[in-house]
Amino acid sequence: MGELMVLPSDEGFSWANENYNSIQRSVDVWSFVLSLQVRVLLDNAKWTYLGGFSEDKQKNRRRRTASWLRERVLQLGPTFIKLGQVSSTRSDLLPREFVDELAKLQDRVPAFSPKKAKDFIERELGAPIDLLFKEFEDQPIAAASLGQVHRAVLQNGEKVIVKVQRPGLKKLFDIDLQNLKLIAEYFQRSETLGGPTRDWMGIYEESAKILYEEIDYINEGKNADRFRRDFRNVNWVRVPRVYWDYTATNVLTLEYLPGIKINQLDMINTLGYSRSRISSRAIEAYLIQILKNGFFHADPHPGNLAIDSMRKIQKRLSRVS
């Protein structure tokens, strides 16, 4: 099916082990939060700058803090990677230096091993990989904060992609979100981190809701089915079909629709596609979703929107409201 880029591995990360120690995990999380608070305090304290304070010096120090933040988020794993990715769109909450660094998390999420993926699929679907699929590619084509995607071929020859959740994710969420609730309460009282001027508890509650929704692949599959029905008469939008016989709460199998990501502008230009036409079609698609269907795609990043060889917009579901 073509050569793939080798993704970084999650081996060596403490969160890659499914047997989480809740006490050690809590220590790691709070150590990160308190270290971040100290760094932010120092970044904002003018008296800590040798030779006197200047905006350029502060920006440079913030860049170093932002780089540290990204690496620590990566070390803390799926919960924090996902929240970091979401935060990378919130320039209203975070300094620009933080937003720019956290945006890099979109491309740096480590994959878990093919053996772990196959074992997990077999447990979820109740059958050996060789019986489920005629072909199954060990190397994932993409890895995200909450799972990864493998290409495969069904026994009848149909090409599919298999989205596999990171094993042990629910348990990790339970531990992390208990700590994050306490952290949100702490942030709400902290002048350093915005205190009462920001609704940290509201942010926590919405984040927790989103995280638990996103690990329910049955719900995601139902959303995809509804989305596909909504656009069945729109010939310039394609939504992948769900293969329910190969889908469970933590495994989602979809029709394979190769395409060009909407941010691959050089490729779009090389193929002679009209960027203005693509933009107008995307806007029209959203107007249909919001004004006609009352059901819309709420996560339109480049991993979820693509253009196929017939110049149709593809929508890959991950979050729908």
**Residues known to be catalytic:** 299
Give the CA-trace dihedral at 98, 99, 102, 106, to 10 degrees: -170
**HEC assignment per residue over 198-213:** CCHHHHHHHHHHHHHH
DSSP one-letter code for 264? -
- Name residues whose C-beta falls within 8 Å of residue 97's C-beta, 6 or more positions apart in sequence: 59, 62, 63, 65, 66
User: Both ends of the chain: CA-CA distance in Å?
Assistant: 34
* DSSP line for 151-187: EEEETTS-EEEEEEEPTTHHHHHHHHHHHHHHHHHHH
Number of Cβ within a 10 Å radius of residue 82: 21
Q: H or E element: which one contains 147?
A: strand 147-154
Is 274 in a helix, a strand, or coil? coil
- Name residues whose C-beta falls within 8 Å of residue 278's C-beta, 6 or more positions apart in sequence: 262, 268, 307, 311, 313
Q: How far is CA 84 from CA 80, 119, 194, 267, in A?
A: 6, 29, 18, 28
